[in-house]
Amino acid sequence: MRSRIYTIISGHFKSWYRSKSSIFWTIAFPLLLIVLFGAIFGSGSTKFDLYLQNQDLSANTPTYFSQGYITVLNNTGAFNLHVVPAEQPDPLTYVKNDAQLHNRGQRLLVIPLGFNATVMSGKNATIQLYMDQSDQASASLAGIVHSVTVSYAAAIAKAPNHLILQQVGIVTKNIRYIDFFIPGVIGMTLLTTGVFGAVNTNGSYRELKIIKKLATTPLSKIEWILGMVGYQMILATISLVVILFFGYAIFGVTATIDIYTVGLVVAASLLFPGIGMVLANFVKEAESADAAANAITFPMMFLGGTFWPRETLPDIMKIIANFMPLTYVNDGLRYALIYAEPAQALTNTLIALGLASFFIVLGSVLMNWKEE
């Protein structure tokens, strides 16, 4: 009896050991999640990007109480402060342009001219906090700034109400989390169908010797890749329509479908199968295809801005995310579908097209049918 039980255990273990995908889901996937979520949330704190304009200067030097307030803000460790020059006449436009360029939240704290004199006179001084109310982090950030303001007022004047934090909304469109999430789901779908489709198809075709037989036909490698891409474009279009319709019908998500949206879908349909084609050259067995594709797609899904804004990531994770193709597809889709920012959508589309061209050419160069 004992030997038969051992035989069953041994047989199943050998089967598990020989399955690359089983090893991935049993060992590699949990470790990957630990590393990703540990890197994102392990520090236990999140820093918010906050623009600061101190207009209360004396001989180009911050006044005593304005500098003290800034020091207290810094000491919280909750903010990455970005200084807006005091002489900037239109700080909101400056913040909007710079925030879009660096993928930061549009939040501006203004210490007005005469702040120091007002505090010294014993009168109530007002500090203005401009925020996009649709920003997912706005409530948390405003709460921290309010606490700092009250604490600083109590410290300098023994009166918590001596400083008034005036919150001013700068939202131009009410963006909910679901509005942010839907483009991320589209990007994630394009990623998984493109990469998994290319890797699995090439892996199974290689085992069946189909790819080797293709070398005897007039079909070129680039034609094979473009054919795969065309198929992925059809799937991408179906996914886009279904997701947007569902988002509109259930959650009332309104999206703008224009030439930029079409361009991004085309770019993603070229890009992700291209990545899959490159990866397929290093995966010799169909069994290994899923594990390899998962190892590529999961980090991109978690770091590429699919589920949450990238600005909430630690600095090192932000840098890594900037090198992930999904980042530009997600950003481009949000700018095109939700934010109606054509210039930003075009920029991300061009980046995605450039990456797509690179991976398609690289996949074509690496593929060698005669050696399959």
Residue 127 maps to which CATH number?
A: 3.40.1710.10
Q: What are phi and psi of 204, to 5 degrees?
A: -70, -40
Q: Are 308 and 231 contacting, i.e. CB atoms less than 8 angstroms apart?
A: no
109 and 124 together in one domain = yes
Task: Give kind and range of the element (H or E) at residue 271.
Answer: helix 259-280
15 and 64 together in one domain = no
Cβ partners under 8 Å of residue 144, min gap 6: 48, 76, 78, 79
Q: What angle is formed at CA 345 by the lines to CA 342 and CA 346, rounded to 5 degrees?
A: 85
* Calpha distance 150→148 (Å, rounded): 6
Q: What is the pLDDT of residue 104?
A: 76
Q: What is the pLDDT of residue 355?
A: 93
155 and 220 together in one domain = no
Task: Give kind and range of the element (H or E) at residue 116.
Answer: helix 115-120
* Calpha distance 171→256 (Å, rounded): 18
Pairing of strands 107-111, 125-131: antiparallel
58 and 154 together in one domain = yes
197 and 137 together in one domain = no
* Calpha distance 345→257 (Å, rounded): 12
Q: What is the pLDDT of residue 55?
A: 92
Q: How many domains does the chain have?
A: 3
Q: In what order do the strands lie in the sheet with 163-169?
A: 79-83, 48-54, 107-111, 125-131, 163-169
3-class SS at 284? coil
Q: What are phi and psi of 175, to 5 degrees?
A: -105, 120
76 and 110 together in one domain = yes
Q: What is the pLDDT of residue 112?
A: 92
Q: What is the pLDDT of residue 348?
A: 92
Q: What is the pLDDT of residue 330?
A: 92
3-class SS at 80? strand
Using alpha carbons, list the distances in angstroms from residue 148 to 71, 79, 205, 335.
10, 12, 62, 33
216: left (phi over 0), alpha (psi -120 to 50) or beta: alpha
139 and 252 together in one domain = no
256 and 193 together in one domain = yes
Amino acid at 78: A
Task: Give kind and range of the element (H or E) at residue 79.
Answer: strand 79-83
* Calpha distance 117→56 (Å, rounded): 9
3-class SS at 107? strand
212 and 153 together in one domain = no
263 and 336 together in one domain = yes
Length of the chain equals 372
Q: Whole-model pTM?
A: 0.68
Give the residue ranges of the chain where pLDDT is below 70: 1-46, 103, 133-136, 158-160, 171-174, 284-287, 368-372
* Calpha distance 319→133 (Å, rounded): 27
- Of 169, 195, 224, the position where a domain reaches its end is 169
Compute the chain's Rg from CA coordinates: 27
Q: What is the pLDDT of residue 21?
A: 59
Closest CA to 299 of 325, 275, 273: 325
What range defines the domain where residue 71 resides? Answer: 48-169
Q: Would you report the helix, strand and coil content of the chain in percent, each value rounded to 5?
A: 70, 10, 25
89 and 236 together in one domain = no
233 and 265 together in one domain = yes
Q: What are phi and psi of 127, to 5 degrees?
A: -115, 135
3-class SS at 145? helix
* Two tokens, residue 202: 């090439």
Q: What is the pLDDT of residue 333?
A: 92
Cβ partners under 8 Å of residue 47, min gap 6: 77, 78, 79, 80
- Of 127, 143, 169, the position where a domain reaches its end is 169
- Of 169, 192, 222, the position where a domain reaches its end is 169
Q: What are phi and psi of 39, to 5 degrees?
A: -70, -35
